[in-house]
Amino acid sequence: MFEGSLVRLRALRAEDAAHHLRWRNDPEVVRWAAAGDPCFGPVTAEAIGLGFDTMLRLSPRESAVFTVEDLAGGRVIGMADYRDLDPHAGVATLGVTVGEREFWGCGHGSDAMRLLVGHLFGAYCLSRLELDTWSGNERAVRAFTRLGFREEGRRRAAVLVEGERYDRVLFGLLREEWANPA
């Protein structure tokens, strides 16, 4: 368990599936978290159950999903994860989703990401972390930039949201940039 100023990250539990089901069936959460990707949602309870069986068995040497809880009230508000951890290349990909709308724009996602980055650089011999979002998610772009991630590229017009094309924005953060922020 990791605690920040606004949130705690804890291990995923089977009972968290109900939250994931609700978030992945909320069109606004799907829009912002996954640019409306139909693979993210909507989903059935059975699909969430199958996914949770897999997530609960993940090896932390490769990937993990954490539950994000609000420190003030202990409420489950989201998830943070890392995947594709490659110890040889020293790279991992990460992400965060705040599923409870009333916590959007309040710093909870940034705090969760800060905890996750600190954990990954502290526990593993990684040289870089990667993530991406879509250019229409300006809140995520600002949050990642404030945490020290740098835009490293764009896949132009790679995302389709409600009939409009957006860029996929790729970000990276090097260990030395995290240890010595500008």
What six digits make up the tokens of 100? Answer: 């409870």
Report the pLDDT value the prediction gives residue 181, as an integer from 0 to 100: 63
Please report which confidence band the pLDDT of residue 93 belongs to, taking 50, 70 and 90 as the band edges. Answer: very high
| Strands 150-161 and 91-98, bridge-based pairing | unpaired
Please report which confidence band the pLDDT of residue 8 belongs to, taking 50, 70 and 90 as the band edges. Answer: very high
What six digits make up the tokens of 108? Answer: 């909870």
What six digits make up the tokens of 10? Answer: 């804890």
Each residue's pLDDT tens digit, 112-157: 999 999 999 999 999 999 999 999 999 999 999 999 999 999 999 9
The total of other beta-carbon atoms located within 10 Å of residue 128's CB is 17
Report the pLDDT value the prediction gives residue 179, as an integer from 0 to 100: 72
Q: Which residues contact 53 (CB under 8 A, 6 or more apart)?
A: none
The total of other beta-carbon atoms located within 10 Å of residue 176's CB is 10
What six digits make up the tokens of 41? Answer: 């949602």
The total of other beta-carbon atoms located within 10 Å of residue 16's CB is 20
Question: CA torsion sign, 170 to 100 to 16 to 18?
Answer: negative
Please report which confidence band the pLDDT of residue 43 belongs to, taking 50, 70 and 90 as the band edges. Answer: very high
- Cα→Cα distances 176→82, 128, 180, Å: 19, 9, 6
Does residue 35 surpass a pLDDT of 80?
yes
Residues in the chain: 182
Cα–Cα nearest to 68, from 107, 109, 30: 109
Each residue's pLDDT tens digit, 56-74: 999 998 999 999 999 999 9
- pTM of the predicted protein model: 0.94
Report the pLDDT value the prediction gives residue 182, as an integer from 0 to 100: 54
